[in-house]
Amino acid sequence: MLSKRIIPCLDVKDGRTVKGVNFVDLRDAGDPVELAAQYAQQGADELVFLDITATHERRKTMIEMVKSVARQLNIPFTIGGGITEIADAEALLNAGADKISINSAAVRNPKLIEELAKAFGVQFVVLAVDTKFVDGRNMVHLNGGRLITELETENWIKQAEDLGAGEILLTSMDHDGTKAGFDCGLLGKVNQMINIPIIASGGAGSMEHFTEVFQKANVDAALAASVFHYGEILIPDLKQELKRNHIPVRI
C-alpha cells in the first residue's frame, strides 16, 4: 500500500505566511522559506504554497520565492496562485516547483487543465477546489472563497479528472481553520468517484483528525496549516501516531 502523505500548506501573502479562519482574519505565521526548510527537516512528505491573493489582486505568483524554496528543499512542492496560462506554469517549473496548483483560472477556462496536462504531464497538474455547503449542495467557490459559482463540487471534480488533472486538493471552507476535523463525508464520497489522488484540506485540529480522515475517507494525503505553523502538532509525532493506527507513512 502506498504511504499516506502529510503536507503542510503555506498560504503566502506579501511574502509572508499567513493563516485565518474560514478564509478570513489572517495573521502572520512566519517566513515561508524558513518554514519550508523546517518542515522538510521534520519529515513532511510534500509542501504546498498558495499565493492566496494572486488571483484576487491579479498578480503572478512569486518566482523569486519559488527559487529560494527550491534551493532549500529536498522534497516535492506545489505552488499555486495566479496561474492563468502555460507561460505562468513554465516559469514556476523552471524556478524549481514540482507541481502547480490551479483553481479559479481552471473554472473560468477548463481547457487550461487539458493544456497543462499535455504540456507538462498529468502528474504536474493539481486542481485546487474550494467548496462550501450551500442550500443542500456542495458548491465550488473562487478567488480565495470570495465568489460562489454555479458549479457543484462533485461534478466539477469529475470533469477535471476527465480533462487531465492529476490530483485534487479539496478544501472544505466550512471546516477551514475551525480545527474541528476534516469533512470526511464529502472527501469519502469524492474519493469513490475518481481514480486520481485526493489531498484532504480544511479542519485539522488534532492528530486524531488525521487518523480519522485516512481511515474514513481513505484519502491519499492530508494537508494542514496552522496546527503545524504554531507547533500544535509536530510531524514526527503525527507520523508515529498514524503508524500506531496502522496507517502506512514514510518515517
Catalytic pick among 130, 176, 183, 220: 130
Cα separation, 42 vs 31, whole angstroms: 17
Residue 185 contacts by C-beta under 8 Å, 6 or more apart in sequence? none
Q: Is 195 exposed, middle or buried (0-12, 13-18, 19+ CB in 10 A)?
A: exposed
Pairwise CA distance, residues 183 & 176, whole Å = 10
Distance of CA 214 to the CA centre of its chain: 16
Query: Which of 11, 98, 176, 220 is labelled catalytic?
Result: 11
8: nearest Cα among 218, 223, 164, 182: 223
Query: Cell numbers at residue 195, please?
Result: 481514480
* Amino acid letter, 14: D
Residue 23 backbone class (left: φ over 0; alpha: ψ -120 to 50; beta: rest): left
Residue 31 among the catalytic residues = no
CA 17 to CA 34: how far, in whole Å?
A: 10
130 is catalytic: yes
Instruction: Report in angstroms the alpha-carbon separations of 57 from 13, 52, 96, 135, 236.
Output: 11, 9, 24, 29, 37
Residues with a catalytic annotation lie at 11, 130
